[in-house]
Amino acid sequence: MFSSSATKVFGMEAQQLGELKEADKDAYDRVLTDICFKYYNWRINAKPSTFNDETRMRYSVLGCDPVPYDRYISHLEQTLEKLEQLEC
């Protein structure tokens, strides 16, 4: 996952994150804790891969972007309006 997507999520390059883990475990843990409740829109590729007659799904991150809350909130409002119009 370490590409521009991971840099967006972690706020640093893979090498920097690895060096931080070796040098200061507490700071490394803070970086991981800080991203726990941040939301992103993920684009993921999933495809089956077979090796030794065993098929597994392989996942690749194609990209991620922070959730655009202004558009997301208006989308939720529209969805709620549609739900309110449904007859039960």
Q: What is the CATH number of the domain that holds 66?
A: 2.40.50.140
Give the span between the Cα atoms of 63 and 1, in whole angstroms: 9
Angle value at C-alpha 63, between 55 and 50, nearest 5 degrees: 10
Give the span between the Cα atoms of 67 and 74, in whole angstroms: 13
13-62 pLDDT, tens digit per residue, is: 988 999 999 999 999 999 999 999 889 999 999 999 999 999 999 999 88
Helix H or strand E encompassing 36: none
pTM score? 0.60
Task: Show the domain range for 60.
Answer: 4-85
Please give the tally of structural domains in the chain: 1
